[in-house]
Amino acid sequence: MYRNSYVLVDEKKLSNNIKNIMENYPGYKYYFGVVKGNAYGHGDIVVKTMIDAGINYLAVSSLDEAISIRKYDKDISILCFGYIKKEDLEVAYKNNVTLTIISSDYFDDIKDTDFKLKVHIKLNTGMNRIGIKRRDELERIIQEIKDTNLILEGIYTHFATSGVYDTYFDAQLNKFKELTKNIDLKNIPIVHLYNSLSLVKHQGLEFANGVRLGIAMYGFSASANIPDNKLPLVNLKRKIKLKGQEVSQVNLNNNLKLEKVMSIYSEVIYITEIEKDEFVGYNAVHKAIGHEFIATVSIGHADGITSAFKEVKINGKTYPIVAIYMDYISVLVDKEVKVHDKVTIIGDGLSFSSIAANSHDSVHHLLVSITNRLPRIYK
Ligand SMILES: Cc1ncc(COP(=O)(O)O)c(C=O)c1O
């Protein structure tokens, strides 16, 4: 690493987060660790820490991702959420990858395979992205699969909303129940519906024995981010919005103690003093209102920094970003700041959650937008 700009991945925090989630939500047989997108930008290598902490199934979105993960653990089961071509089933088999049946046509396409592959059936209960939508199709697959080499190991769905301000969560849950009403779910080894936020916001489901943990493992849980003093207001808003409608109980509070696993640092490499009415940056984006100190920090668009990033911390003090370039940001500082000072981009109170909130973006997107030009340093 020749440039002093990097992502710090705190594996102790990752491990503590997983243990903390498992302690708060015990009783599941399967805790899936969702590690698509290079483990949400943290780097695939973190799967080793996840497995040590208690994750006993991994989930990715493609066969390529599964193969990349397989380097780090030979044995753990890996579920692929996404589509795997029929021609690639041998590779999936050799890498012990569990398939998702994404549609009834897909089942027909692969059902004559010679490979004894584990499969999970995905139900489309309302996301309308992938999955089986009709009961007759589901029942046919469950019937016919018995005469194939495919091993039915699981069934699942994915919620489109957290179900806190809306009734859609309940609609999806009802759809799942309706689709599976003639099926004895006890005959399917793994039934999993919840992702991070549905887990922390809703009661457990007696028929589900697995949960898929993504963003919460990495330290984000919207519930934990709602300060206690805001909870009564949030509750009231929900009640007004959902008045008269049948909705399941939600937990706005929880005892989770999650810490953000990723932080980002860089360095001041140059400082210039400018006078009133001088400009900084492309399009002369910043105009000095007096005598100013402008620090150039060695991180930019090519690292994943966008205009949604508004401030940094240097020596514990917050300073505004006034211009962004491919490889640098300009920061309005004061005379305390020196060349080579460490700059916190994310961490020390600067979080992806607030950037996401201010820019109508998602933490998921921001995490995977941090590019590989920034080396990941593991602590
Ligand atoms: C099918 C599926 N399950 C679980 C997850 C994990 O979601 P989260 O990160 O919100 O916990 C994802 C992530 O997008 C997903 O696509």
Rounded to whole angstroms, how far apart are CA atoms 167 and 193? 16
pLDDT at 10: 98
Q: Which domains does the chain have, with CATH numbers?
A: 11-241 (3.20.20.10), 262-378 (2.40.37.10)
Q: What is the pLDDT of residues 84-135, one digit of tens each?
A: 999 999 999 999 999 999 999 999 999 999 999 999 999 999 999 999 999 9
Task: Tell me the pTM.
Answer: 0.94
Average pLDDT on 286-308 reads 98
To test the ligand 1 pocket, which listed residue (159, 195, 363) has its Cβ within 8 A of the most ligand atoms? 195
Q: What is the pLDDT of residues 142-184, one digit of tens each?
A: 999 999 999 999 999 999 998 887 889 999 999 999 999 999 9
| Gap from CA of 44 to ligand 1 centroid (Å) | 16
**Which residue in 173, 195, 207, 211 sits closest to 364, CA to CA?**
195
Work out which ligand 1 atom sits closest to the CA atom of 196.
Answer: 11
Rounded to whole angstroms, how far apart are CA atoms 118 and 152? 6
pLDDT higher than threshold 90 for residue 211: yes
Rounded to whole angstroms, how far apart are CA atoms 122 and 134? 12
214 CB within 6 A, ligand 1: yes
pLDDT at 175: 97
Calculate the CA 185 to chain-centre distance.
28
pLDDT higher than threshold 70 for residue 231: no
pLDDT at 240: 74
- Reported as a pLDDT band with limits 50, 70 and 90, residue 358 is confident
Rounded to whole angstroms, how far apart are CA atoms 31 and 229? 32
195 CB within 6 A, ligand 1: yes
| Gap from CA of 327 to ligand 1 centroid (Å) | 32
To test the ligand 1 pocket, which listed residue (58, 60, 212) has its Cβ within 8 A of the most ligand atoms? 212
163 class by beta-carbon count within 10 Å (0-12 exposed, 13-18 middle, 19+ buried): buried
Atom 1 of ligand 1, nearest CA residue: 158
Work out which ligand 1 atom sits closest to the CA atom of 217.
Answer: 11
Rounded to whole angstroms, how far apart are CA atoms 34 and 234? 29
| Gap from CA of 131 to ligand 1 centroid (Å) | 15
Lowest mean pLDDT among 178-192, 216-230, 273-287: 216-230
What average pLDDT does the chain have?
Answer: 94
pLDDT at 115: 98
Q: Which residue has the higher pLDDT, 320 or 253?
A: 320
Could you tell me which residues are beta bridge partners of residue 267?
342
pLDDT at 224: 38
Rounded to whole angstroms, how far apart are CA atoms 223 and 255? 10
| Gap from CA of 95 to ligand 1 centroid (Å) | 22
Could you tell me which residues are beta bridge partners of residue 132?
123
| Gap from CA of 33 to ligand 1 centroid (Å) | 9
Average pLDDT on 289-305 reads 98
201 CB within 6 A, ligand 1: no
pLDDT higher than threshold 90 for residue 245: no
Using the Cα atoms of residue 148, residue 151, residue 154 and residue 158 in order, give the sign of their dihedral.
negative
Work out which ligand 1 atom sits closest to the CA atom of 195.
Answer: 11
In the chain, the percentage of residues whose pLDDT exceeds 70 is: 94
Rounded to whole angstroms, how far apart are CA atoms 61 and 79? 8
pLDDT at 242: 67
pLDDT at 164: 81
pLDDT higher than threshold 50 for residue 364: yes
| Gap from CA of 372 to ligand 1 centroid (Å) | 22
Work out which ligand 1 atom sits closest to the CA atom of 216.
Answer: 11
Rounded to whole angstroms, how far apart are CA atoms 300 and 315? 20
Q: What is the pLDDT of residues 124-148, one digit of tens each?
A: 999 999 999 999 999 999 999 999 9
Average pLDDT on 254-271 reads 96
pLDDT at 43: 98
To test the ligand 1 pocket, which listed residue (30, 35, 81) has its Cβ within 8 A of the most ligand atoms? 81
Work out which ligand 1 atom sits closest to the CA atom of 32.
Answer: 4
Q: What is the pLDDT of residues 15-41, one digit of tens each?
A: 999 999 999 999 999 999 999 999 999
Strand-strand pairing, 317-324 and 286-287: unpaired
- Reported as a pLDDT band with limits 50, 70 and 90, residue 229 is low
